[in-house]
Amino acid sequence: MKGDRLAVSDWGNDRIQIFNNDGNHLLSIGHRGKLLAEFSRPLGLAYDETTEKLFVCDDGNNRVMIFNHDFSITELVHSKLGFNGPYDILLLKDGRIIISEHRAHRLQFI
């Protein structure tokens, strides 16, 4: 991430932890809940260096959230099929997104 930061999915505590390259904790994002910027078992993360956006698979809430560089939420990733256990995410260079879903046993290309 920009500024030599590292985002870590803290599944057991329903939040995302941000650390610097020395391993020092900088901040936590979110807590347990169903509202925007709240999580239920966040899992896979992806960072877009061009847009400086962080994508978070929110497993328990069946959604993928997108955060700005300042960690304010900007939007949700939408799928015609909806999500069923979004587990991990991959950002492709052509702008497409691949999301794996562990409960649906599928990949979605968005």
Mean pLDDT for each consecutive 10-residue tract of the chain (110 residues)?
94 98 96 95 97 97 96 90 97 97 97
Fill in the amino acid letter for 105.
H
- List the CATH code of the domain at 5-109: 2.120.10.30
| Residue 80: predicted pLDDT | 85
Dig out the tokens for 68 from the structure.
């700005």
Each domain of the chain, given as residue ranges in start order, spans: 5-109
| Residue 3: predicted pLDDT | 84
Report yes or no: 7 and 25 within 8 Å, Cβ to Cβ.
no
For the entire predicted model, the pTM comes to 0.95
Please give the torsion angle defined by the CA atoms of residues 50, 98, 61 and 71, in that order, rounded to the nearest 10 degrees: -10
| Residue 39: predicted pLDDT | 97
